């Protein structure tokens, strides 16, 4: 699809064109001029576009090369791949006419493999990303390889049949196409991989040097001396013949140096790249190693490079299109572990077989069975040992999960509970090599490093109980991203969960201590206020009354007697105040009657105040053993029942109220009435909030349910054993 006109014009406008303003109803053209937009030009009749405007619009659309590449690129790339395959089919026929090669047992050459696989994978890249140059380089390089091998084999066939005037032109064509292929795949591809852009202009130097050497090499082949292999050359320069071989060797050395410099750009790019780009670079490097290693070893295994050559374009395509799906370090790790397992099992089998044949020749038929049993029994231990060695080799000691766990255990032994979680996070961050990592526990966050955007989130579970969330940041700078992250997380996550649980307990304990201290200080303040403002003032007044009675006793006995009678009545008030203070600390009825008896006494006191008066009914039902309850639970249950009965007496207009105490693992308190219920939309008052707070302080709950005309039910659930509040 072609790019919109406005986008094309703005994309192609240079800096010098910005000063040229466009008139209304126009868009800026590629040279700073005006191109018609949606509005018709002045002078056009009936809104019809002007012929010049139509022509200019056609020219602008013709300049939309990105749009053309997106539209025609896949078709052209598929055509190139098709032509390359046709050339390879023709080469198969030509090769069949030639004698077998003494250097390889394969019926095809490496150029045949490159001419088939490179264009196919290049076409796949172009179809997916038409504007990326890498796909085009693979297509053209594969086409050049196919044309080169076909021309070279055809020239050899003509020589084999007695020669032909086209032999030398075919060799010149083959050399030229091969030089272009070398430049595309050996120079441009490493310089542009994987982004399609060169690192900097300085890297044009090896590209230009190699291009010059390849061009001169092709000129040497153009003026090369005649020979039986290359045929008669009408352009032969006799004076150049003594220097021909030496010149070409020098040019080939320059080309090799230029290619080495081009591939060294990958090293520079690797050091500067982030984790994703590094993974993209490693994919083809591993595939190229599979081609270079047998080539370096040479005869008799060099021909196996023809079999591994398709891995190079495949690795490039996977790295560009699917680098997020497959980890190159995973491939390396599994390959090394698999190869090590095969080697160990094979070595054990060979050793057991050889030993049994030499020492126990009579039972050597059981050697294979013994070797198989040994391999099966020790398969997983051997695999774990090999995996640990591979992790050490790939990631060092900082990436070995077991080494990380051992280091974490040592750090936890010397860390206090408040810093254990931070130590665990630091070890996990180092093992994953991420920019930061954090743990969220009940809204509080403990951070190590700079988490930044959260790349992964996972729950922390301690013995089946969720204790928090683990927030992992994006990968940091490293050689390449670790694909063994799952193993690191699986090994270290339990330590982090333990530390998070310990932190949660420590925080809850600290909060509990703070609440206890706060409650104690508030109680002391209340007692001081009550003693000072109430009892203290009363006792001071009584002391003054005693002094007055002592002074008036002789002069006016009647006045002294009246003062003493008032003083006696005041003593009754002081006694009541003292009892009220004691009652505020703990209701005496709980100590005298127990929880069940104290609740029955409350119900009996509340019964006359109900709507039916003396005919009202107040029931108390007790199930379970109420002895042995914590003092705080008894007080909370008593106060909740007291507040609920007060509300029934004042607001419910109920004739019947029922109180239920049930203990079965927990203490459940229920107060239900048959009154008018709560009005819709009523907000909780001080009394209801007090009941809820008393239950929550002990880790319990208190709920009030009601429906108009159906009464109100207060249900409280309290722990029957002492517990720290808010531990979870």
User: What proportion of the chain, given as a percentage, has pLDDT over 70?
Assistant: 75
Taken as a whole, the chain contains a residue count of: 728
| CA–CA distance, 261 with 255 (Å, rounded to integer) | 10
What's the confidence (pLDDT) of residue 711? 87
User: Both tokens of residue 243?
Assistant: 């220097």
What's the confidence (pLDDT) of residue 369? 59
The enclosing H or E element of 719 equals strand 712-719
Q: Write the DSSP symbol of residue 670.
A: E
Interval 66-95: pLDDT, tens: 666 677 888 999 999 999 999 999 998 898
User: Both tokens of residue 190?
Assistant: 């490493």
| CA–CA distance, 381 with 143 (Å, rounded to integer) | 50
Indicate whether 528 pLDDT > 90. no
Average pLDDT score over residue span 32-41: 38
- Whole-model pTM: value is 0.46
Which stretches within 536-612 are classed as H helix? Answer: 537-552, 557-585, 588-606
What's the confidence (pLDDT) of residue 57? 55
What's the confidence (pLDDT) of residue 28? 37
What's the confidence (pLDDT) of residue 403? 73
What's the confidence (pLDDT) of residue 299? 67
User: Both tokens of residue 121?
Assistant: 């994978």
Q: Specify whether the CB–CB gap between 623 and 661 falls below 8 A.
A: yes
| CA–CA distance, 186 with 174 (Å, rounded to integer) | 17
Indicate whether 550 pLDDT > 50. yes
Interval 187-200: pLDDT, tens: 998 899 888 888 88
One DSSP character per residue, 345-406 reads HHHHHHHHHHHHHHT-GGGGGGHHHHHHHHHHHTHHHHHHHHHHHHHHHHH-GGG-HHHHHH
What's the confidence (pLDDT) of residue 39? 38
| CA–CA distance, 138 with 310 (Å, rounded to integer) | 12
Interval 316-336: pLDDT, tens: 887 777 554 444 455 556 666
User: Both tokens of residue 249?
Assistant: 């060797």
What average pLDDT does the chain have? Answer: 76
């Amino acid at each position: 699809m072609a790019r919109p006109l406005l986008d094309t014009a703005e994309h192609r406008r240079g800096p010098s064109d910005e000063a040229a303003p466009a008139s209304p109803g126009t868009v800026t053209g590629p040279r700073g001029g005006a191109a018609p937009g949606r509005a018709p030009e002045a002078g056009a009749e009936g809104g019809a576009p002007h012929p010049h405007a139509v022509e200019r619009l056609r020219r602008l659309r013709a300049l939309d090369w990105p749009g053309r590449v997106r539209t025609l690129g896949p078709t052209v790339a598929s055509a190139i791949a098709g032509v390359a395959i046709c050339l390879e089919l023709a080469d198969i026929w030509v090769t069949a006419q030639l004698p077998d090669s003494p250097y390889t047992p394969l019926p095809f050459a490496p150029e045949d493999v490159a001419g088939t696989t490179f264009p196919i994978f290049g076409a796949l890249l172009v179809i997916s990303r038409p504007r990326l140059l890498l796909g085009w380089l693979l297509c053209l390089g594969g086409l050049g390889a196919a044309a080169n091998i076909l021309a070279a084999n055809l020239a050899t066939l003509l020589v084999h049949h007695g020669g032909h005037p086209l032999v030398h032109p075919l060799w010149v064509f083959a050399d030229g196409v091969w030089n272009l292929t070398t430049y595309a795949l050996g120079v441009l591809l490493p310089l542009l991989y994987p982004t399609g852009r060169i690192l900097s202009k300085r890297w044009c130097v090896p590209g230009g040097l190699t291009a010059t050497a390849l061009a001169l090499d092709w000129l040497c082949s153009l003026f090369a001396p005649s020979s039986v292999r290359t045929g008669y050359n009408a352009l032969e320069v006799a004076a150049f013949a003594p220097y021909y071989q030496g010149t070409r060797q020098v040019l080939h050395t320059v080309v090799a140096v230029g290619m080495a410099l081009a591939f060294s750009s990958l090293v520079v790019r690797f050091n500067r790249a982030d984790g994703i780009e590094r993974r993209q670079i490693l994919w083809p490097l591993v595939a190229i190693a599979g081609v270079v290693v047998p080539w370096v070893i040479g005869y008799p295994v060099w021909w196996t490079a023809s079999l591994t050559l398709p891995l190079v374009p495949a690795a490039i395509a996977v790295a560009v299109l699917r680098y997020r799906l497959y980890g190159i370090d995973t491939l390396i790790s599994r390959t090394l572990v698999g190869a090590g397992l095969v080697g160990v099992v094979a070595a054990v089998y060979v050793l057991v077989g050889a030993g049994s044949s030499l020492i126990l020749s009579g039972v050597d038929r059981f050697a294979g069975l013994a070797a198989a049993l040994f391999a099966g029994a020790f398969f997983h231990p051997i695999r774990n040992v090999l995996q640990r060695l591979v992790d050490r080799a790939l990631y060092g000691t900082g990436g070995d999960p077991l080494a990380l766990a051992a280091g974490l255990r040592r750090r936890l032994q010397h860390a206090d509970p408040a810093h254990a979680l931070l130590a665990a996070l630091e070890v996990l961050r180092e093992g994953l090599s991420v920019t930061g990592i954090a743990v969220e526990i009940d809204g509080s966050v403990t951070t190590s490093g700079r988490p930044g955007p959260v790349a992964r989130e996972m729950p922390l579970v301690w013995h089946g109980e969720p204790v928090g969330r683990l927030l992992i940041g994006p990968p940091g700078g490293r050689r390449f991203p670790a694909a063994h992250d799952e193993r690191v997380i699986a090994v270290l996550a339990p330590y982090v969960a333990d530390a998070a649980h310990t932190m949660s307990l420590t925080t809850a304990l600290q909060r509990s201590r703070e609440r206890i201290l706060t409650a104690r200080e508030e109680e002391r303040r209340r007692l001081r206020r009550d003693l000072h403002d109430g009892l203290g003032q009363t006792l001071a007044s009584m002391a003054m009354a005693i002094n007055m009675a002592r002074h008036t006793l002789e002069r006016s006995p009647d006045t002294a007697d009246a003062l003493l009678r008032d003083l006696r009545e005041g003593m009754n008030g002081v006694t009541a105040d003292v009892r009220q203070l004691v009652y505020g600390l703990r209701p005496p009825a709980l100590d005298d009657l127990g929880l069940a008896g104290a609740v029955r006494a409350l119900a009996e006191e509340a019964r006359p105040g109900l709507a039916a008066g003396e005919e009202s009914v107040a029931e108390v039902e007790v199930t379970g053993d109420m002895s042995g309850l914590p003092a705080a639970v008894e007080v909370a249950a008593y106060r909740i029942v007291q507040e609920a009965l007060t509300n029934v007496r004042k607001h419910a207009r109920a004739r019947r109220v029922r109180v239920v105490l049930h203990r079965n693992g927990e203490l459940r308190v229920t107060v239900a009435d048959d009154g008018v219920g709560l009005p819709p939309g009523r907000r909780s008052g001080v009394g209801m909030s007090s009941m809820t707070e008393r239950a929550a302080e002990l880790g319990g709950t208190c709920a009030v349910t009601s429906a108009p005309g159906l009464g109100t039910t207060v249900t409280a659930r309290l722990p029957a054993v002492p517990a720290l509040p808010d531990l979870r």
